[in-house]
Amino acid sequence: MKITVIGTGYVGLVTAAIFAHFNNQVGGIDIDQDKIKNLQAGQVPFYEPGLAELVKQGLKKGKLYFTNSYKRAVAKSQIIFICVGTPAKENGDYQMKYVYSAVKSAVKGLKKYAVVCIKSTVPPTTKEKIEEIIKKNTQADCDLASCPEFLKEGSAVEDSLHPHRVVIGTESKKAEELLLKLHQPIKAPRVLTDIKSAQTIKYAANAFLATKISFINSIARICDAIGADIQAVSQGLGLDPRIGHQFLKAGAGYGGSCFPKDTWALIAFAKRLGYDFKFLKEVDNINRQQIDYLIARIVQLVGPVKGKTITVLGLAFKPNTDDIRESRSLSLIKKLKQKGAEIRTYDPQAMRNARKVLTDIDYTDDAYQALKGGSALVLMTEWPEFRKIDFKKAGQLMKKKAVIDGRNFLDKEKLRKLGFEYKGVGRR
C-alpha cells in the first residue's frame, strides 16, 4: 500500500519504518528541514534502539523516503497518518495547532480517496473540528480514522512490531478495511470502534498507568513512615493478576512526553464537558510532590543544600531514550538550583538535549567525574550502567557518602556495607 506519515518524531518515524518494513511504500514528511535532510541520509535524529537500522533498510530497499513536500507524498497515498506533536500549553491545556495544520496541508494535496488517520494523541472532543478542516480543504473523497499509538520510548520498535492491541476507530467501513489490511502482518487483538472511543482508550490507558504510579508512590510514603519495604509490597500486590506488576515501581514519579501532558489534557477536556476530574488532578499532584519528597530526603542526609554540590545521575525521563520532555530529573535539578545547590550531572544519551534547556549546571563525561566532590548522589534514571558503578571508587571521590535513589535501582546492601548512607523511596 502507499502511505504517508506526517511528522517524523518518535511516533511518526517508527510508524514509517515499521510499515516500510512490511513492504509498503512509505513517505515521511516533516516541517523540520534539517530532520528531513538527515533522514534522507539515513541519520535518525534521536536515540531509539533498533530504529536507525530499520530506517536504513527501508531507504535501501526503496520502500521508504523522506520529503518536505506534501504534494509529492500525499497525492497517491491511500492512508495518511498524522503523527505530529500535541504538546501541552504553559497552563497544561492541550494544543492542537500542529494537528490542525498537518491535516489541512495533507488533504489539500489529495487527488483521490484516502483515509486520514490520526495517530497523535488528541482529545476526542476535537473530532468535529478535524472533520470541518477536511471538508473545507478538499473536494476529494476522504474518510477520517484514528489509530492511537501505544508505543513506549526505549522499546518503540519492538512495541510497534508486537503491540498488545491495534485500535482502529472509524465510522467508515471502507477506511476500516484499508486499515485492517495495512495492519495484517501485526499479530495482536483488534479493537474496532468509532473515532471518539478509540481516542478515549488512549487517554484512559495513560491516565490509568499514571494512576498506578502515583498510587504506589503514596503507598511508599506509608512504607517510609512505618519502616515497611515497598518492593515487597509491590511484589505482593503485583502477583494478583487483577493488579499486575507493571507500573508499580515507587520512585521519583512519571515524566516523558505522554503521561503528564495526557493527564493534563484529560483533566482539561473533562472540565470543558462540565466534569471536574478531581481524581486525576490528585494523581498529578502526587506526582509533582514526589520531587519535593526527594529533596526532603536529600536534606535529611546532607542538611540544607545551599552551596553544596549535588550529583544527579540520569537526565532522560527513563532509560534507553534521550528524551527529556517532562523529565523528573530536570524538575529536581531546577528546584535544587533554586535552593542554591550546585549540580554536577551525567547521562549516557540525554545530555545533548538537556544542554539546550539547562545551561547553569556542570555536565561531565562519565559518572565518576559527576561524583567528584558531591555531597550526595541522586539517581534519577535507571540506566543499567549506573548499577555497574564502582562505589568504592565513588566513595573516595565524593565529599559525603550519601545516596538518594530516586528509582530504587541501586544495591542498597552493598552501598551500606561500603559506608554509604542510603535512602530510596519506600525502601528500608
Q: Which residues are catalytic?
A: 258
Q: How far apart are CA 74 and CA 284, in angstroms?
A: 39
> Would you state the cell numbers that stand for residue 330, as one nine-digit string?
530536570
Q: Is 169 in the site for ligand NAD (CB under 6 A)?
A: no
- The position carrying cell 515524566 is 255
- Could you tell me whether strands 2-6 and 79-82 are parallel, antiparallel, or unpaired per DSSP bridges? parallel
Smallest distance from ligand NAD to CB 167, Å? 12
Q: Is 398 in the site for ligand NAD (CB under 6 A)?
A: no
Q: Are 55 and 17 in contact (CB under 8 A)?
A: yes
Select 105 or 137, whichever has its Cβ closest to ligand NAD. 105
Q: Is 168 in the site for ligand NAD (CB under 6 A)?
A: no
Q: Shortest Cβ contact with ligand NAD: which residue?
A: 9
Residues 348-377 that bind ligand NAD (CB under 6 A): none
* Among residues 3, 5, 74, 153, the one that binds ligand NAD under rule CB under 6 A: 153
Total number of residues that touch ligand NAD (CB under 6 A): 27
Question: From the DSSP assignment, how many helices (H) and strands (E) are in the chain?
Answer: 18, 14
* Among residues 32, 194, 362, 421, the one that binds ligand NAD under rule CB under 6 A: 32
Q: Is 85 in the site for ligand NAD (CB under 6 A)?
A: yes
Q: How far apart are CA 425 and CA 303, in angstroms?
A: 18
Q: Is 36 in the site for ligand NAD (CB under 6 A)?
A: no
Smallest distance from ligand NAD to CB 252, Å? 18
Select 11 or 59, whichever has its Cβ closest to ligand NAD. 11
Beta strand extents in 339-401 (DSSP E only): 342-346, 362-363, 376-379
Strand partners, 318: none
Q: Is 266 in the site for ligand NAD (CB under 6 A)?
A: no
| Region of residue 197 (left: phi > 0; alpha: psi -120 to 50; beta: else) | alpha
Q: How far apart are CA 267 and CA 279, in angstroms?
A: 9
For 67, phi then psi, to 5°, come to -155, 160
Q: How far apart are CA 69 and CA 48, in angstroms?
A: 26
* Among residues 20, 26, 29, 205, the one that binds ligand NAD under rule CB under 6 A: 29
* Among residues 12, 58, 169, 255, the one that binds ligand NAD under rule CB under 6 A: 12
Smallest distance from ligand NAD to CB 267, Å? 15
Q: Is 257 in the site for ligand NAD (CB under 6 A)?
A: yes
Select 109 or 374, whichever has its Cβ closest to ligand NAD. 109
Q: Is 290 in the site for ligand NAD (CB under 6 A)?
A: no
CA-only gyration radius of the chain, Å: 23
Smallest distance from ligand NAD to CB 104, Å? 8
* Among residues 4, 5, 10, 404, the one that binds ligand NAD under rule CB under 6 A: 10
Stretch of residues binding ligand NAD (CB under 6 A), selected from 17-25, 100-108, 189-197, 209-217: 100-108
Q: Is 7 in the site for ligand NAD (CB under 6 A)?
A: yes
The alpha helices in 138-188, defined as continuous H runs, are: 156-161, 173-182
Q: Is 80 in the site for ligand NAD (CB under 6 A)?
A: no
Q: How far apart are CA 251 and CA 377, in angstroms?
A: 15
For 409, phi then psi, to 5°, come to -110, -30
- The position carrying cell 536507525 is 52
Please work out, in degrees rounded to the nearest 5, the angle formed at the alpha carbon of residue 158 by the alpha carbons of 152 and 162: 100
Select 264 or 346, whichever has its Cβ closest to ligand NAD. 264
Site for ligand NAD, rule CB under 6 A: 6-12, 29-32, 35, 83-86, 98, 101-102, 105, 120-121, 149, 151, 153, 257-258
